[in-house]
Amino acid sequence: MIIVIQCADQVGLVAAISSVVSKQQLNIVSMREYVDQAANLFFMRLEVEEISNTEALETQLRAVLPADVTIHINPTPQKKIVVLVTKEYHCLADILIRNYFNTLGATVQCVIGNYDHLRDVCERFGIPFYHVSHEEKSKDDFERQIMGLIQPHNPDYLVLAKFMRILSPAFVAQYPMRVINIHHSFLPAFIGANPYRKAYERGVKLIGATAHFVSNELDEGPIIAQQIIPVNHSFTVTDMVNAGKEIETSVLAKALKLVFEDRVFVYNNKTVVFE
């Protein structure tokens, strides 16, 4: 049972919360808390043993916490996600495999691609694949069609697993801080298109990948996780792309795990991550 709490900071919050929890004779399996003193914000993630009456617990917590508190108690037993892709397989395949073996921490409802390339791998795992081309239609129509496919599934998160189209603010606003993207650079380096070519031309000695929530600014949303790998002069752009795929896969998997386990809080375009 996971309890996540976010509210304005004040003296005695930990005492108040832990007192409520201990009065219910709940064992705390793990507790992580963080105070951003400049922003005067308090964040807590509590893992306690299973309980029957979550409503009572929430009521008791609200009684001792500031009015503007956000509390989620084990929000959903298993998150639901929809995955958007273009042509590259590596992130999608990793998600499909974990989904198939029940180690993803979420269930994939369907996959939507603006190309048809990844239909077969989805269908091999019995996951519905929808092809929505972005060609010969307005961006509005494109996004309306995608949204029409997403909404019936009522997903907790959209995962952009190398989806190479930029979504409009209006689209993103439907899933605020619930769209997760993998960007193929060490943000904020190499924002936008062709980061590996830019990295090659700059002659960097490390390349990176960044998993982040999508906001209205391109590649400017809150960062969840980042990784890098060393490169050297002998790497062509293609070598960098290939090396990069390994960490893109790895860092997206890590970010999804963190999000699905309710370890990530968002505020001020940043994240608190209780790893």
Stretch that binds a copy of itself, among 27-35, 51-59, 67-75, 155-163 (CB under 8 A): 27-35
Please identify, using beta-carbon distances, which residue of 82 and 273 lies nearer to a copy of itself.
273
Amino acid at 89: Y
159 binds a copy of itself (CB under 8 A): no
The token pair at 159 is: 């995962």
How many other β-carbons are positioned within 10 Å of the β-carbon of residue 70? 11
Please identify, using beta-carbon distances, which residue of 20 and 110 lies nearer to a copy of itself.
20
* C-beta separation of 82 from 97 below 8 A: no
Catalytic residue among 94, 156, 219, 262: 219
Which of residues 34, 128, 139, 164 is near a copy of itself by CB under 8 A? Answer: 34
Please identify, using beta-carbon distances, which residue of 167 and 231 lies nearer to a copy of itself.
231
197 binds a copy of itself (CB under 8 A): no
78 binds a copy of itself (CB under 8 A): no
Stretch that binds a copy of itself, among 50-58, 136-144, 157-165, 199-207 (CB under 8 A): 199-207
Closest distance of CB 150 from a copy of itself, Å: 25
Q: Annotated catalytic, 219?
A: yes
Residues that bind a copy of itself (CB under 8 A): 11-12, 14-16, 18-19, 21-22, 25-31, 33-37, 89, 93-94, 97, 100-101, 121, 124-125, 186-190, 202-206, 208, 222-228, 232-234, 246, 250, 253, 268-273, 275
Cite the active site residues. 219
